[in-house]
Structure 1
Amino acid sequence: MLKLKSVLLLFLTCFLFFCQTNKPIQLAPAAALPEATKKAEPTQVDLSSSPVIAPLEAIKKMQVEPGFEVKLVAAEPLVSTPVALTFDEKARPWVVEMAGYMPDTVGTGEDKPIGKIVILEDTNKDGVADERRIFLDSLVLPRAICLIENGILVAEPPSLYYYEIKNDKPGKKTLVDAAYAEGGNVEHQPNGLYRALDNWIYNAKSSKRYRKKGDKWIIEPTHFRGQWGISQDNYGRLYYNTNSENLLGDYFTPGLGATNKNQRRVAGYVQKIVANNKVYPIRPTPGVNRGYMNGILDESKHLVDFTAACAPLVYRGDLFGPEYSTSVFVAEPSANLIKRNIINEQGLLVKGEQAYKGKEFLSSVDERFRPVNLFDAPDGSMYVVDMYRGIIQHKTYLTNYLKSEIGRRQLTQPLNCGRIYKIVPVNKTSQAVTLPNNPDQLVTLLGHSNGWVRDKAQQMLIDGKSTQAIPALHKAMQDKSKSLLVMHALWTLEGIGALQTEEVLTLLQEPTWPLRMQALSVLPSVLTKKTYKSYLPVFNKFITQKDSLAAPYLAFLVSYIQPLDKTAGKNMRQQLVKTFPKNKFVADAIISTLPEQEETFQKELIAFAPDTTLVVHQQLRGVIANIKNARASKDPKVLLKVFPKGAAMFTSTCQTCHGPDGNGVNGLAPPLNGSEWVTGNKEKLISIVLYGLTGPVQVKGHLYKAPEINGDMPGIGYDKDLANEDIAQVLSYIRRSWQNNADKVSTEEVAKVRQNLKARQKAFTVQELNK
């Protein structure tokens, strides 16, 4: 027996060694894999342990919507700690492995360069990956990738790099953005690198978008969106969420309305799409960070509401059937489940609800099942990236309560697991679409029933600069019976630089709103000194006909008309205000076109629209108040010299929720600027920062509660390695920043409160602090 164990150990060691080389790994044929997933029956869960379960056994622990099955695509040692993936034109998954994430409860060795980008391949075409190639290694916490042209974008905080690809190996490396993920911790840094319908690359937890033109990378501001994961619908509108919110998204296409930095929020962007945050795990889930708090777990220790919502996916595949064409799935790794939502359109609005009450699309009784990302796939299925780890909460916010739960069930080890699954209908064959290099065939695929295929065909035509496809694209634009084909042909022509004015004008006059919407969305790319006059009569017609769907788009477009013709831009703006006086979308869109012109426009507005109760007056007053507050704020460079550690800590820990200007972030946290909790009693402030605060909370006369803010502010005092001096500096920094002018906090004051509260296990309530 000992000899057999030695042989097995030697085999496993050799196998793992080969996993670290660039040579492909060949796995044995997967003939033993079951054809269908057996639906798991509810079982009594042993809360004393959570052992690692073999992949095929783990599938048996899942309950999935009747009519569907879960199939294994890859597992350890072929893949380890996956957090994201993308597919190439051969339908091969390129996977991001974040191996360094939280090796233990204090994050020991998290800065080691052990992350990888790997290519998986199914060489025998049985649906299971059997080959692994390491494309990049020695990365520190990589988090996102995007294939584009002959290379790949790789997000390795704090930077974003572009690597050329030669025979599946990295070539020339180019720095695209040195500040892609500057500041924030692992949970609060940009991610996604989602290549959208409009040919720009968008991110969650970011206000930047990227585009490659020739050898240059363009970086532009966009709306700040979400936390982890990002997706789009068939019309190119983006969807995302925060850890406690089911689904957020945009009513408008993503490239508009982010031109005024003084405007903190633009109506129609970062909207709550599904307000219901309830979750229904099939196992008790005591291992959540705030499980000690009332209302987090129910009487049977099941999570009540989202606490780690992520990876929203608008399902655009063609395998599930038409009843799933309006489905948006959201992962919840803390509760080991995937939720299904159903969305619908009501004019400009997009609203939704949960598909089921009391159950989920997919749930597992395996605590280590951690679905952290979801993707549409080349075969029309839905891919699930399972990090398969015990610890998913970062050390910055890891409570003593959760540390105890981790220790109780020995969740720290092992660190080398990871699975990728796909969900498919039972007894339905799925076949991955591999895309041809022929440009005319790619044009045909722009109308494919699978959204992944449409997107990839568009990207390949643009990446290949396929000018020979232009005649076929122009022809596709004429087939109005196939709206998806027309939309993708439109944006492909935009990407190639061959879109014609007449084509856009024709679409603008289409009775089908989605086609008109795309034509309005593409206008910033085609409005020039030579062409803009051709569009003005159509714009005026929209306004005269009181087209409320087109009106916000027209208001956004003023910022593109204005540089070409000041008079035309001014007239268009005034006509929109007069025609849509109560439309908040039009009002905010107009204000978005007025950077540094707000006060001048306010005087003009009073002259031609004197009724100060109009929504545009109300919105404009708020923006001007923000501008005046910003002018009165202190110079951050001065404070940086006085409190260098505090400034750095604010950037990495506080800024992502409270905003760089201290005025809070909608849906996350209230303002620090002018907050009585910041400038008031030091002991209260120290207590909040050390151990957190449970809302609602009143700041400057306004009661902040969910969904306006996240219900809870996490504390940082659980991190024993965090020095009292650093905490004192960050508190002193925020007490002196912006318009705050309170005295600084000393290291001794922090030490005293920390000592008094050393037995503290949970966040404070306002009532506790006021005692």
Structure 2
Amino acid sequence: MKLINVLSSIFKAELYCIVIVLLIYSCKPKNFDEPQISLDNYKIESGFKLQAVASEPFIEAPVAMDFDNKGRMWVVEMKGYMQNLNGTGDDLPNGTISILEDLDNDGITDHAKVFLDSLVLPRAIAHVYGGLLYAEPPNLWFVDIENDMPKNRVLVDSLYSDGGNVEHQPNGLLLHIDNWIYNAKSHFKYQRKNNKWIKKPTAFRGQWGITKDNFGRLYYNTNSVQLLGDYVLPNTLTENPYYKPQAGLNNKLTPNQRLYPLHATAVNRGYVKGVLSADSLLLNVTSACGPLIYRGNKFSNEYKQNAFVCAPEANIVKRNILTFEADSVTAKQAIEGEEFLAATEEGFRPVNLNNGPDGNLYIVDMHRGIIQDKAFMTPYLRSLLAKKQLDTIIGMGRILKVSAENSPQTTAINLDDLNTKTLVNLLNSDNGWLRDRAQHILIYKNDKAAIPLLKNILKNNTNEIANIHALYTLHGLNALNFNYLNSILKTSSVKTICHTLVLLKAFASEIHISKFNETLQYLLTKNNPEIDLYALSSLKNWLQLNTQTFFPVAHNIVSKYKNNTVYYEALINGLSGVEAEYVNYISSKEVTPGLKSMLNLVVANRVNKKQNGIYTRRKTYTDSRTAGYITYKNMCATCHGFDGEGIESLAPPLMNSEYITEASEKRLALVLLHGLTGPVHVNGKLYELSTTMPGLANNPDFSDADILNIIKYLKSAFAGTSEKITIDDLKSLRKLTPENGAVYTEKELADLIEN
């Protein structure tokens, strides 16, 4: 009996061990063989190598990514987007955010685990504040991360993407050097302080993707303009609510939008004259997105701060060389007639770019046959997609890494394991990703031990970029004051001074006027255009305290830059609230007509309470115009702006436009039905935009009643009148298609209306 009991105990023990082993095994992440992806159909610039570091089955339809503090890739998978020619299923909760891992450390993803699932068209993420910020329209969410699992989800903004279709909703979530989070296709920025989320207005920027340079200027684009950007630091021209900057923000940086594809691709308006070459090659960008300023340290010096741009419609990643001046930035094609990366594989859809923790460049390849949203798809493209069977390229996705040809593979460091001194030292790194993360970690941890080390960086003043990071880290730690910043102005280099002027305005007070004026006079003796620009734009709080002291300073600076609108806008930013007094002050002084005109406009705007659209929300309606407002918000405002004032480089204004105000609504109806291409004149100004407005006549989602509702809203909101056109009129106008079978031109419309 004892022997039986012993054997029974042994058997139970062995069985118990087997169960434990099985349980342990079942909890281990599943490993797959690393997929072999051929890149033979890709051509990359000499001196570089291209590598697929993640692909299906680990990811599907990636549209954005971010790296965590361990160097792992987190990927946003928009699986519901254009799964077929009809775009059905885009409301299915099949989107995910996944963590990609390389368990055998060979540089290739061999495991993926889902962090969040059941999402509808998720579009952006950012690792901030120890958790994950993510966008799932219309909401912006934040979740803590505990053992790679979500915890304590918080709704940051229920109106993050209030309107717009999937191609035209906010995205980006770019953590900036100033500790704010910026977005493309949005005029809001976000920050968390004391566990509370703050949302503030900023300039409206771009369409899909946003990036920054080492100084802190922001860059973005629209589908037809490959690179747009700000000439100045964010918010330095938009603090006066009664002026909308025209010169310093949203500038077209590239002289042309040329593409050099390796093969003919399916594009939405290939039937329009001038879109394709004689060889059926796309001539200019039509889906530009995902710009990136390269801030890594693994490419040679000539590539530092180059601007890379995705052109998924042509299977291309472009490279531009930036040139920086005090009041401007320009960009040019790196190698004329050649692209940095081009492929003959039509499934290659680069939609976003990232700097990596290893200093290399990463490409988010959605790898999908259809990238044109159904709302704007032309019958021409639909037919071509079906003919080429591009709707069968689905269920795929890639992350590609670009590195120097002979560069060895490196292993990412775990930033969570680093002590205070090591994190502070990373601010001196020539890898921008490491600098950004080190700054944010120090602030998130509220690491007060870093303060003397940060001040030592500024004291040594040997690395200008490190200086700027140190300044904003101190700012995030609430370790700045007037006296300290004032001393920095006297000892630092130019770009550090510019940022210090921006930060110092928060400490403006009566007791500091004399000291600041003394420092300002010293700075002006440098005769540096960059310092002058930020001195002007940062005067707002000081002028509200004492115009007698600072009006002469402002006038002396702006007088040095005659007919330079960027400096005029910097002045107007600084004059917020005292514009009328300044106009009186300069009444007997020599001032250019251009500046006088701008100042008078601001004074009139303040009197008439006409604010920059980023500070206002348009009136909504509860009658028959409501449906029109909703459609305008979702379809039209993405290009013309919620305030109807137009968006630079994208679409002209509608406010008081002759297209809206004229008694006959036939021209407006024809444009809505059949589309319009430029150039066009609006309010006496010529707009030579490279965009084409698509018509809604072929869109099955829009009836004549829907179009009539849009007209009702447009007439009421932007002309203050009511409509006279009827449903029967629209039925007749549907039949008046353009002669070329495409869209109307301004002349064709005029001739048609006249006759």
Do both share a fold (TM > 0.5)?
Answer: yes
2:685 to 702, 710, 715: 702
Map of 1:370 onto structure 2: 349
Cα deviation for residue 432 of structure 1 reads: 4.0
Q: Which amino acid aligns with 2:680?
A: V
Map of 1:384 onto structure 2: 363
Map of 1:191 onto structure 2: 171
Instruction: Map residues 397-416 of structure 1 onto 2, 5 A cutoff.
Output: 397-416=376-395
| Cα distance in 2, alignment partners of residues 317 and 196 from structure 1 | 16
Map of 2:453 onto structure 1: 472
Q: Is the 8 A contact 1:398 1:718 kept in 2?
A: no
Unaligned stretches of 5+ in structure 2? 1-25
| Cα distance in 2, alignment partners of residues 224 and 558 from structure 1 | 23
2:239 to 244, 259, 275: 259
| Cα distance in 2, alignment partners of residues 79 and 760 from structure 1 | 43
Distance 1:532 1:398, change over 3 A: farther
Distance 1:296 1:118, change over 3 A: same
Cα deviation for residue 509 of structure 1 reads: 3.0
Cα deviation for residue 320 of structure 1 reads: 1.1
Q: Is the 8 A contact 2:461 2:493 kept in 1?
A: no
Instruction: Map residues 166-565 of structure 1 onto 2, 5 A cutoff.
Output: 166-285=146-265, 287-434=266-413, 435=415, 436-499=417-480, 501-510=482-491, 512-527=493-508, 533-543=514-524, 546-565=527-546
Q: Please give the TM-score of this superposition, normalised by the length of structure 2.
A: 0.90
Q: Is the 8 A contact 1:556 1:592 kept in 2?
A: yes
SS at match of 1:591: helix
| Cα distance in 2, alignment partners of residues 94 and 332 from structure 1 | 23
SS at match of 1:146: strand
1:103 to 59, 78, 83: 83
Q: Is the 8 A contact 2:213 2:305 kept in 1?
A: no
Cα deviation for residue 397 of structure 1 reads: 1.0
Map of 2:16 onto structure 1: none
Cα deviation for residue 605 of structure 1 reads: 4.6
Map of 2:14 onto structure 1: none
SS at match of 1:221: strand
Cα deviation for residue 664 of structure 1 reads: 1.6
Q: Is the 8 A contact 1:397 1:718 kept in 2?
A: no
Cα deviation for residue 648 of structure 1 reads: 0.7
Cα deviation for residue 302 of structure 1 reads: 0.6
Unaligned stretches of 5+ in structure 1? 1-20, 34-55
Q: Is the 8 A contact 2:297 2:430 kept in 1?
A: yes
Choose 144-153 or 97-106, whichever is displaced more: 97-106
Cα deviation for residue 558 of structure 1 reads: 1.8
Q: Is the 8 A contact 1:378 1:432 kept in 2?
A: no
Distance 1:169 1:638, change over 3 A: closer
Instruction: Map residues 598-613 of structure 1 onto 2, 5 A cutoff.
Output: 598=579, 600-601=580-581, 603-609=583-589, 611=591, 613=592
Map of 1:4 onto structure 2: none
Cα deviation for residue 679 of structure 1 reads: 3.4
Q: Deviations over 1:517-551 (max 9, x none)?
A: 23223324554566565433112333455443222
Q: Which amino acid aligns with 2:678?
A: G
| Cα distance in 1, alignment partners of residues 218 and 619 from structure 2 | 35
Distance 1:583 1:721, change over 3 A: closer
| Cα distance in 2, alignment partners of residues 262 and 738 from structure 1 | 19
Distance 1:583 1:648, change over 3 A: same
Map of 1:674 onto structure 2: 656
SS at match of 2:460: coil
Choose 502-511 or 110-119, whichever is displaced more: 502-511
Q: Please give the TM-score of this superposition, normalised by the length of structure 1.
A: 0.88
Map of 2:572 onto structure 1: 591
Distance 1:542 1:414, change over 3 A: same
Map of 2:629 onto structure 1: 647
Distance 1:376 1:393, change over 3 A: same
Distance 1:525 1:460, change over 3 A: farther
| Cα distance in 1, alignment partners of residues 159 and 576 from structure 2 | 24
Count of aligned pairs between the two proteins: 720
Q: Deviations over 1:537-578 (max 9, x none)?
A: 112333455443222212221223245556545554444445
Distance 1:563 1:175, change over 3 A: farther
SS at match of 2:30: coil
SS at match of 1:443: helix
| Cα distance in 2, alignment partners of residues 642 and 567 from structure 1 | 54
SS at match of 2:587: helix
| Cα distance in 2, alignment partners of residues 720 and 625 from structure 1 | 45
Map of 2:8 onto structure 1: none
Distance 1:135 1:564, change over 3 A: farther
Q: Confirm or deny that 1:158 pairs with 2:138.
A: yes
Q: Confirm or deny that 1:664 pairs with 2:646.
A: yes
Q: Is the 8 A contact 1:728 1:746 kept in 2?
A: yes
| Cα distance in 1, alignment partners of residues 27 and 590 from structure 2 | 70
Distance 1:363 1:381, change over 3 A: same
Choose 682-691 or 587-596, whichever is displaced more: 587-596
| Cα distance in 2, alignment partners of residues 94 and 119 from structure 1 | 5
Q: Deviations over 1:113-156 (max 9, x none)?
A: 11111111111110011111111111111111111112111111
Q: Which amino acid aligns with 2:302?
A: E
Choose 184-193 or 632-641, whichever is displaced more: 632-641
| Cα distance in 1, alignment partners of residues 617 and 434 from structure 2 | 50
Q: Is the 8 A contact 1:380 1:430 kept in 2?
A: no
1:717 to 663, 673, 697: 697
Q: Deviations over 1:487-510 (max 9, x none)?
A: 222211111111354553343234
